[in-house]
Structure 1
């Protein structure tokens, strides 16, 4: 059975090819071909000898991704892809062309087990974790798309389907691989990781010493409401999550973003805004208000623009750093899980 080499660090590549007589420096050549040049056939790696290319072809494979479905927003700024892996499993990856550069939102699991009531990713549960290589393959697929436009990926958001910290080791490998010189050589500061609030893993990530931007899905201003929206809150309560966020900010010096999905008649009231302001007071933090992407299966609707503006105004008046997320891709079901569910249901 051939060994998949895609997703390995250069040291790992060197170790697995060494028994076949390849020199140590060939690991760097292979890594550059795969991660920087987008070449996934050993036969096309022309600076490696024909003999060694034949050995690589005989004993190794390079697993990448193929596009199973794609949707483009009407304004041309958002592209959503359903990308399929070698085993037939598929996840969503979203390209967002922002004024400050190109951002890619990647998935870390096939599906999700968190059960948040506002999310389509969790409707069918979780099938499996993705490897670090499968996460990187999503970014490199988008890079190829952008290269045709004379551009490239500038930032990565680990905010697609799945709970990243439930797949901790693979996600960390992916992040470090993105940072490697022979891969994307992307700054850690250009990577944002979003979590529903796995407290032990947030603390573990804080100890890694990486200046990532941490984004915590809050979505409620009190413990009772958060438990209603997010079952994970029954395991790690709101006070515990906030303490973990404070620890992350203290350890990294990085401002934590707290995401708050605004859902009509559920968490968008004046009292919720006031509670949220009290919760955020004195913290090294931002609040990102997100009008919910309507999910048909969930029956949840977004508030009207007046309600959103009033909610933001209450926070601003109390000196809370707050932004309202600029909507992208609403017309193509860009929320996590929506395209995948549509394709699965159609089949």
Structure 2
């Protein structure tokens, strides 16, 4: 049963569940699943090694597993979950957006961004989104369904393989001469991560469990965003993670935020920020306040001043996002002079503030644009 006041989202009627996959299961559950197939339990660790550590999905590469067992194990625990519809690259081939078609025809997106000193991947946790924020292409398309843990994880597995195989341009991150490694994962693609709570938590565990049980990535390199589902934020604070929490605020006042982020009518700005400070205290991590600057809507200097007053003395950093406009939308990015005044108003309160590097506009970079165009 959901906690009191927690949002729940029903799957569309008649929707099929994704097939069970190794990445959906804990190490103990994998042993049980392998044993149920009549195989030795240690085959679970071998399969995990191939999927998470070697990135070897072709059974022909599983030379430590008897040939007679490979097909059965693959069909039962490593089924095909998603296929690439297309990749689109820009920024000198250092940014690649991928449109995926899931097993049931649902479309989702992920973006891999390579910088000189780091590699970041933005992933989806839902197909569509039920938050209905009017300036967001994904929100306007509505929610199709939650992604499974394995569907979330596989986006990252594919990104790591692409880096290993030299598919992403830009040279090696850090100048080491070695293939670039994925350093940051942001749950800021399609969907509201905390509305798909259990599967997102499962994905974080798969991403950060040591090899071969998982990918062995650092929790500190993972950022989970939310529009402010307060009960789930409290629950997330109790997980004991060292991930970063990002709060998509977009307005410092309830009157405007009710319009921009409709869930604000349920949990007010103060409640959302109080839950964020709880997470900061328990995790020891600074909270990122995400704020899409929208021309003549939320970019007034007085709102920057108000935001600075709310955050002054708190463990927070403001990440301003020049809005990536979607075709036909009335919403667009702020004027440079208004953006500068907004930054100055926040900084005047001693609150750290940066403007996010904008990438991918020429490849329909805003969440949901590519899937919407495919539809």
TM-score of the two chains, using structure 2 as the length reference? 0.88
Aligned to 1:165: 194
Aligned to 1:208: 239
CA distance change for structure 1 residues 291 and 17 in 2, over 3 Å: closer, same or farther?
same
* SS in structure 1 of the partner of residue 110 of structure 2: strand
CA distance change for structure 1 residues 6 and 278 in 2, over 3 Å: closer, same or farther?
closer
TM-score of the two chains, using structure 1 as the length reference? 0.94
2:141 equivalent to 1:112 = no
Matched-pair contact (CA < 8 Å) for 1:2–1:58: no
- Structure 2 counterparts to residues 1-80 of structure 1, below 5 A: 4-57=21-74, 59-80=76-97
Q: Work out the CA distance in 2 between the residues paired with 1:286 and 1:197.
A: 16
* SS in structure 1 of the partner of residue 320 of structure 2: strand
Unaligned runs of 5+ in 1: none
Unaligned runs of 5+ in 2: 1-17, 167-178
Moved more, 168-177 or 309-318: 309-318
Q: CA deviation at 1:198?
A: 0.2
Moved more, 207-216 or 84-93: 84-93
Matched-pair contact (CA < 8 Å) for 2:150–2:203: yes
Q: Work out the CA distance in 1 between the residues paired with 2:20 and 2:308.
A: 52
* SS in structure 2 of the partner of residue 123 of structure 1: helix
CA distance change for structure 1 residues 258 and 19 in 2, over 3 Å: closer, same or farther?
same
Q: CA deviation at 1:202?
A: 0.4
Q: Work out the CA distance in 2 between the residues paired with 1:5 and 1:273.
A: 46
For the aligned residue pairs, the C-alpha RMSD in angstroms reads 1.7
Q: Work out the CA distance in 2 between the residues paired with 1:2 and 1:287.
A: 40
- Structure 2 counterparts to residues 226-245 of structure 1, below 5 A: 226-245=257-276
Matched-pair contact (CA < 8 Å) for 1:64–1:134: yes
The equivalent position to 2:352 in structure 1, one of 321, 327, 338, is 321
Matched-pair contact (CA < 8 Å) for 2:90–2:362: yes
Matched-pair contact (CA < 8 Å) for 2:113–2:121: yes
- Structure 2 counterparts to residues 63-212 of structure 1, below 5 A: 63-149=80-166, 150-181=179-210, 182-212=213-243
Moved more, 184-193 or 93-102: 93-102
- Structure 2 counterparts to residues 264-283 of structure 1, below 5 A: 264-283=295-314
Moved more, 322-331 or 17-26: 17-26
Matched-pair contact (CA < 8 Å) for 1:81–1:93: yes
Q: Work out the CA distance in 1 between the residues paired with 2:181 and 2:320.
A: 28
Q: CA deviation at 1:52?
A: 2.6
